[in-house]
Amino acid sequence: MNKSRNLFKDGMTPLVKSTSRPKWQRLPRCEVFYYKSPVHQNHYVLSFAFGFDKEDEVYQFALTFPYSYSKMQAYLNAVELKFPETFERSSLGMSIQNRKLELITFDDVKKPEKMDPKNVIHMVVILARIHPGESPASYVVQGLIEFLAAANQPISKALREHVVFKIVPMLNPDGVFLGNNRCNVIGHDLNRSWNKLSQYTHPTLSAVMKMLKEYDNSSCYQVDFVIDIHAHSSLTGTFIYGSTYDNVYRYERHLVFPKLFATKCEDFCQEHMMFNADDRKSGTARRNFVEALSDNVNTYTLEVSMCGYLLNGTNILTQYTEDGYMRIGRNLARTFLEYYRFTNILPIPPVDELRPRKGGRPRTHRPRARSKTRSEVRVRPKTTRAYAPISYTDLSICYDSATSEDGSPVRYMYGHGNAGYGGLRMRPHIHQDQFSLSNIQAARFSNLDFTSDFRLKIPKAKGTVQEPKMPPIEMLNVPPKPHLTIIDFNQLTRGGLEEATSGKTIEREKEKIRRHTFKSSSRKA
Ligand SMILES: [Zn+2]
């Protein structure tokens, strides 16, 4: 509360719930005030107006959605019962006050018969709630656990079968139980203690470090990621903190995951992302693991705002809900899927699976029978081939035909009769008319005017008095012809993209060849 930069300035408001209204709700913004108060030695003060409307009710207020130690225990019990075959729960150790340090494992990886460096098992480690006050981190973890535990979900199945996930959902169970904001029971900020671990004062961290080192040193496993999840009290959106490396290639590898994650989250905030090697933060997991673990391990701090995120470059603040935080966890899993597909550890699925499924099956010429394998992930041989899917769904042009009798199964009463809402006639879009078959036919007789209604352009046979009745329009989606541009990459630095693609280069090359052949032929002569 002593910081000048605070989310209450951006429109965050406290949460409230009561006995008869058990769902957390944000207070209205107009009733909440955050200001510097001369009465309180110029400290910042939060005050809000609230009417206690029922006498026997118990009211509770919170900064963000709480997530207690017992809530986590109840949740893990429920998941354990629901997904016994995918979900594995164990205890990694005990806290100072003898609370369990839970460890969740998702591991359906078939162990290779012979171990060699090419056959290592990839591992992702997720840590959360080292700062007990940052409860949104627990919702993110819950979203991730739910996603990975789903037995029949093809994405989670593929992930579980190729990568081992180790999740420590609550690194500081004592602090959470006691309601601390940042510290454990003896007042240590655990995320400043990774560089001075002691079994007596930091038993939970020591247990996690022991596990990490064991896997990191093993020849069977390769720890790819350690992601430490936090919640931020003064910035909006979701963002990642990483480390800097002197080795350029190492640094580039470190940037890949945040970039992929940014493409998966609409709430990702690029401006708040930070990569540094700050000495003040040397006790954090992110900074300490760079030295403590091997070079393969990428450690990040994933921060989610305690309040909300700004909608796509606007100033409109959307407040996070519990499900909003869980969605971040699901997006995290999707990012792992993409990462491991890019690195050829996960098989690349058939094109059908990659296509967005909004609005049902895309209308194409392809017969239905070919999509049988959609839900399966085909195992493909490991190659370095890059995958570049061409999606026709967004590029498709509607050819609307007034006369075609090709027996296409797709037939729409579009723009005729009483289709539409309340007898309103729906007009076909102009861009569809431009490519209509009638227009193309009309072009044989007259100059085609794309801007006007094509129906006026159809020449009438002499003697006909009545307007011919229009049959229903059929719509087919025909993929456009691929357009090929030759780019000479040698030219890119010299003359820019325009020159490289203008064709001058190709002409120049042809000229060179011509001159060369002329010289050699004259020499012969
Ligand atoms: Zn934190």
Rounded to the nearest whole angstrom, what is the distance from the C-alpha of residue 138 to the centroid of ligand 1? 12
What is the residue-averaged pLDDT of the chain?
77
pLDDT (average), residues 266-280: 87
Question: If pLDDT is split at 50, 70 and 90, which confidence band does 347 have?
Answer: confident
pLDDT tens readout for residues 82-114: 999 899 999 999 999 999 999 999 999 988 777
How much is the pTM? Answer: 0.67
Span 229-245, average pLDDT: 93
Å from CA of 231 to ligand 1 middle = 6
> Which residues are the active-site residues?
303
3-state secondary structure of 187: coil
Q: What is the DSSP string of 147-163?
A: HHH-SS-HHHHHHHHHE
Q: Determine the distance separating the centroid of ligand 1 and the alpha carbon of 78, expressed in angstroms.
A: 27
Buried b (16+ CB within 10 A) or exposed e, 232-265: bbbbbbbbbbbbebeeeeeeeebeebbebbbebb
All CATH 3.40.630.10 domain ranges of the chain, comma separated, are 69-343
Q: Which residue has the higher pLDDT, 198 or 463?
A: 198
pLDDT per residue as tens digits for the range 437-465:
444 444 444 444 444 344 444 444 444 44
Distance 353 CA to ligand 1 centre (A): 37
Band of pLDDT at residue 7, cut at 50, 70 and 90: confident
Fold of the domain spanning 69-343: Aminopeptidase (3.40.630)
| Rounded Cα distance, 145 and 332, in Å | 11
Instruction: Judge contact between 298 and 225, C-beta under 8 A.
Output: yes
Structure tokens at 201: 């004062």
* C-alpha of residue 92 to centroid of ligand 1, in Å: 22
Confidence of residue 5 (pLDDT cuts 50, 70, 90): confident
Taking 50 as the threshold, does the pLDDT of residue 392 lie above it? no
